[in-house]
Structure 1
């Protein structure tokens, strides 16, 4: 009798468990059978390494704009709070402390929207390249970059520890996966796990991906491929701006699961990009057991999507560039930011009448305006009339100031000083290099006295084979065309 009662209780317990699972599945089906609209905003901004006040101010302004425009979610680039790449500033404790302080301050500005912001996370003595999830004045979650690049211009393993936990968050039944820059370039990276095993409907990627010729097209193809592979929307937020010899081109993207572009950011321009995602949350009834045992960290954000009437997203003009224009715009942005972020007012360029100095001058004028560019001619006994005339014509065409500093007397002074040592020795490249070094001295004297940044004019071929003069035409603060392909 007792045995029969046990069997009956066990059967009843199984029946209740089955009914509970069926109710759960039915609830999930009802949630996923209807379309959910999610308005996302991508802040494609130019941040300054180490300038927390400036960066936070820019982020707060973008938050206000996105909230007014009815965005539910806004993304900011990788390490937006600190600027990218912070490099050895990461070794300073006060820098890390400021980063934490400003993140908490920034969180207070997040109201009526969910924000994802790149920052540096410190755990004991370890640093992580992380994404903070901000909502209702608090940091409600974070994700640690799992794949750290350590090649080419990247040396992130010098500073950061790799994260080990794929992460997503849920808002209004929509599951959103988090990733940072390099994470998405690896086909089997964390994005695959959160989208396939974790059933994420959207994969977001905050990035600081530097430019090289053709990078935009390469990136577009990769993001489209990931959207199709993961069967998820992909929202990609990239940095723009110059930092030393790196240029970040923006070109942010929003892509549908079938690879269709829903929105694109312009290259080399700051802008806010909006897109409405029409999402049918993925059915989880076949994956309940898998999700329960999943190693994916999941945050639940109690955000209610803004269903009020929203401003219409006007179709933006995205400028298509040929490769030459693209490279030119990258040089302009890199030059402008190097000059401005290092607090120089004007730039000085030695004009020779040749193509390289002419191109450098054109780039500088486009970057900071003709009123802030000064051309310097330094003719010698060996200078042709044509080179002088061409330099003057260039300055006139560009509307820049020109200063002439003939070096004949300086050359004679050097000849006199060296005459005893060089007695009976034939003239050779030594005398030619003296010209370049005299000019380099004059350019740096103007820089020291006037506070101008000297832009050198050597091209990639010259630097590659050493066809330049040490302490001569290599003297200066920024080599504008040294890496032009």
Structure 2
């Protein structure tokens, strides 16, 4: 065979919905067959969604996955395209993360994942046994070097495939999004192409799965390192690639490439997909949130509208005696710009009621942060009551800077089912707010133009829990705070390292202590979209009881 059509099915699986996922694979195969495809390739663990976590410890789950794969294999007897499907493979007592190659009504080959990642968000070694280094699969006269995700991040598997006669390298992936990772993958693939002198196909799933977002961004590199194809980011797609064999091996016909995404657009699209899939796949009719007149709730509302549509987002302003007139105006204007339902419920009566109830036991003590937290918890109670009554999921609005240092109230503003800004520092919140006001992301369901009042972005942030309060009464300026936090969290620097970079020692020590003390709060925080390399909960896991102080004196 000197010509080959390989269809890349960049699909959005629903974790655990095996029949739904199988039907999605069938639909992709039917569409590919209409374009004359010889082979349809689907992502890692496409029959169930990746990562399956402890679902694969259930024998019934594994059996159901295999039964669905065998049914798909039988359907390839129709003379249409072959299939590559990811799923579990049990050999004796060993359970593998595997791929199945199907053609002519049967499974013609299986390959197990050889390199099992066990870092960051990955814990494949908890549930799977590594397979041997894979050899090529003969498919209709072509030797395909098929592998699974982590296998191609290191040279050995690709080199083994090349040395044993593979003609085209194909990697199926469940590769989570991180900022600029779509382009980093291409750079790494170039190294594999240089080492093997073979063309390389990268196919990734696209979905939100709990905290993780998978961006798709599948691509094909020819043996001369030219980029022949890049599929859309953050969207399902099917690409039928045209291959021809020449004197120098196989060549994929080039197609027009989509424009390069800015960091802001990548981040926004990831947040949109994370929210949309979490809400939709868990069956919520919509979302609600507290709209305070501040930037965090405004950007959360804007992202929710872009992800779900204005008719599925509800906002509640809950003023106290400390709420400024500007905040009342800004929250109302934000709701108007987004076109969402907007309610106002005062927490004044709740503050009076709690003051009366607690007064006898608080006699002789001055007001302090306790009374501030009562305001936040009153708002949390109202929002959770509305969530219970109407079925909408409550979005929390705290950002990574606040969650890092504990500038959040347990059972108050931390109440909720999902966090849009959980992995976004405050300085990036500001930048992203400006970006969204000036840009309209592809696939957004919200309005074009201004979606957040400029005053919301420009005014000093404040929790408004006491007179004339601003965040900077308690925290260093966000430019300084975020730089220190990035050093402590993402880069794991110590105090001396940050001081050497020009930061004030006392400020670094103070932030270090706040970061450590707030671990118990973060452990109780809702899941949220992972955007960077060290998201709380998935990547960064610290003990709650922790006496280590490093170089802090």
Same fold (TM over 0.5): yes
Matches within 5 A, 1:273-292: 273-280=239-246
Shift of 1:124: 2.3
How many angstroms apart in 1 are the aligned matches of 2:364 and 2:396?
Answer: 35
How many angstroms apart in 1 are the aligned matches of 2:31 and 2:392?
Answer: 37
How many positions carry a matched residue from both structures? 421
* Alignment check: 8 A CA contact 1:41 1:75 kept: yes
* Alignment check: 8 A CA contact 1:201 1:282 kept: no
Q: 1:148 aligns with which of 80, 99, 116?
A: 116
How many angstroms apart in 1 are the aligned matches of 2:150 and 2:34?
Answer: 32
Q: Flag as ranges the 4+ runs of structure 1 deviating above 4 A.
A: 313-317
SS of equivalent to 2:240: strand
How many angstroms apart in 2 are the aligned matches of 1:109 and 1:61?
Answer: 12
User: Relative to 1, partners in 2 of residues 1:226 and 1:177: Cα closer, same or farther, differing over 3 Å?
Assistant: same
User: Relative to 1, partners in 2 of residues 1:182 and 1:314: Cα closer, same or farther, differing over 3 Å?
Assistant: closer
- Stretches of structure 2 lacking an aligned partner (at least 5 in a row): 426-553
- Determine the structure 1 residue equivalent to 2:204: 238
User: Relative to 1, partners in 2 of residues 1:68 and 1:460: Cα closer, same or farther, differing over 3 Å?
Assistant: same
- Determine the structure 2 residue equivalent to 1:410: 350
How many angstroms apart in 1 are the aligned matches of 2:100 and 2:196?
Answer: 23
- Determine the structure 2 residue equivalent to 1:194: 161
How many angstroms apart in 2 are the aligned matches of 1:400 and 1:62?
Answer: 36
Normalised by the length of structure 2, the TM-score is 0.74
Matches within 5 A, 1:60-79: 60-79=26-45
How many angstroms apart in 1 are the aligned matches of 2:140 and 2:323?
Answer: 73
Matched, 1:47 2:13: yes
How many angstroms apart in 1 are the aligned matches of 2:237 and 2:257?
Answer: 12
SS of equivalent to 2:361: coil
User: Relative to 1, partners in 2 of residues 1:416 and 1:263: Cα closer, same or farther, differing over 3 Å?
Assistant: same
Q: 2:152 aligns with which of 179, 184, 191?
A: 184
Matches within 5 A, 1:150-169: 150-169=118-137
- Determine the structure 1 residue equivalent to 2:288: 348
- Determine the structure 2 residue equivalent to 1:8: none
How many angstroms apart in 1 are the aligned matches of 2:242 and 2:192?
Answer: 19
Matches within 5 A, 1:358-369: 358-369=298-309
CA deviation vs aligned residue, 1:90-149 (integer Å, no higher than 9, x gap) = 111111111011111111222422211101111223210000001012111100000000
- Computed over aligned residues only, the root mean square deviation of the Cα atoms, in angstroms, reads 1.6
* Alignment check: 8 A CA contact 1:266 1:319 kept: no
How many angstroms apart in 2 are the aligned matches of 1:233 and 1:70?
Answer: 21
Matched, 1:82 2:48: yes
* Alignment check: 8 A CA contact 1:201 1:281 kept: no
CA deviation vs aligned residue, 1:189-220 (integer Å, no higher than 9, x gap) = x111111x212110110000000001011001
Normalised by the length of structure 1, the TM-score is 0.84
How many angstroms apart in 2 are the aligned matches of 1:371 and 1:282?
Answer: 56
Shift of 1:174: 2.3
* Alignment check: 8 A CA contact 1:238 1:252 kept: yes
* Alignment check: 8 A CA contact 2:158 2:169 kept: yes
Matched, 1:479 2:419: yes
Shift of 1:315: 4.3
Matched, 1:117 2:57: no
